[in-house]
Amino acid sequence: MNGVVAVDGVRVAALVSVVVALVGYGGVAAAVLFLVLGGTMVPRVAGAPAALDGAYCLTILVAAWAAVLDWYLAVPWLDVVVHAAATGLIAAVVQWVLVRAGMASTPDDAQPRHPRAAVAVLTAAMGTALAVVWELCEWFGHTYLDDRIQVGYTDTLGDVTAGMVGAAVAGALLGGGVLLRGARA
């Protein structure tokens, strides 16, 4: 239970971040942090394991602030690392939600025939699809909301590739049961 309380502290930080972003950085930054705040609620509601919940919430909060504070410009390699970590963790949380909703299997299920591989493949595929959607949102944001949002051919390909790698790692970890330990009821 202490893990849940610690992660709830990250959710509080996300809530405070919305206000700080609005006052200090404007509406677009506040909107990004508001989406993060909503995202941090998903694993809590779904009863995700505390380690997955915490890693996911902290990663998406840091990712958002890195964008707002232009850390990706200051530290170019950070973008790729964050895309890999965030996409993998988002895919893992989506997989967890699908399992909880009875729409996907766990590595322990008897169906399908190779449940561990099915979990790994589904997680990697979802993460890859989400990486593409993310890049489309970045393009939309750059084109219609704020041209300071960084986009470009090389950036997009690098981000999607990093997301695919992160999703594949998350799939392998979920397929092996690693990220599912400590699940809450």
Structure tokens at 50: 């505390």
Could you report the per-residue pLDDT of 142-161, keeping only the tens digit for each?
A: 899 888 788 889 989 999 99
Confidence of residue 169 (pLDDT cuts 50, 70, 90): very high
Whole-number Å distance between alpha carbons of 139 and 4: 35
Our CA dihedral for 48, 50, 53, 55, rounded to 10 degrees, sits at: -150
- So what's the pLDDT on residue 184? 52
Please state, rounded to an integer, the average pLDDT across all residues of the chain: 89
- So what's the pLDDT on residue 183? 55
Whole-number Å distance between alpha carbons of 142 and 155: 13
- Give me the amino acid identity at 52: L
CB neighbours (10 Å) of residue 101?
9
Confidence of residue 26 (pLDDT cuts 50, 70, 90): very high
- Res 87 pLDDT > 60: yes
Whole-number Å distance between alpha carbons of 66 and 75: 10
Greater pLDDT, 179 or 28: 28
Q: Which pTM was predicted?
A: 0.84
Give the residue ranges of DSSP H helices in 26-150.
Answer: 27-46, 50-68, 71-74, 76-100, 115-140
Our CA dihedral for 171, 174, 176, 182, rounded to 10 degrees, sits at: 160
- Res 29 pLDDT > 70: yes
Could you report the per-residue pLDDT of 97-136, keeping only the tens digit for each?
A: 988 888 877 777 666 667 788 888 889 999 999 999 999 9
Residue 84 vs residues 22, 42, 46, 77, 126: alpha-carbon distances, Å: 28, 20, 23, 11, 13
Question: Which residue ranges make up each domain of the chain?
Answer: 2-180
Confidence of residue 185 (pLDDT cuts 50, 70, 90): very low
Could you report the per-residue pLDDT of 43-80, keeping only the tens digit for each?
A: 999 999 999 999 999 999 999 999 999 999 999 899 99
Percent of the chain with pLDDT over 70: 90
Largest interatomic CA distance in the chain: 53
- So what's the pLDDT on residue 100? 87
CB neighbours (10 Å) of residue 157?
11
Q: Are 47 and 182 in contact (CB under 8 A)?
A: no
- So what's the pLDDT on residue 163? 94
Structure tokens at 174: 């979920």
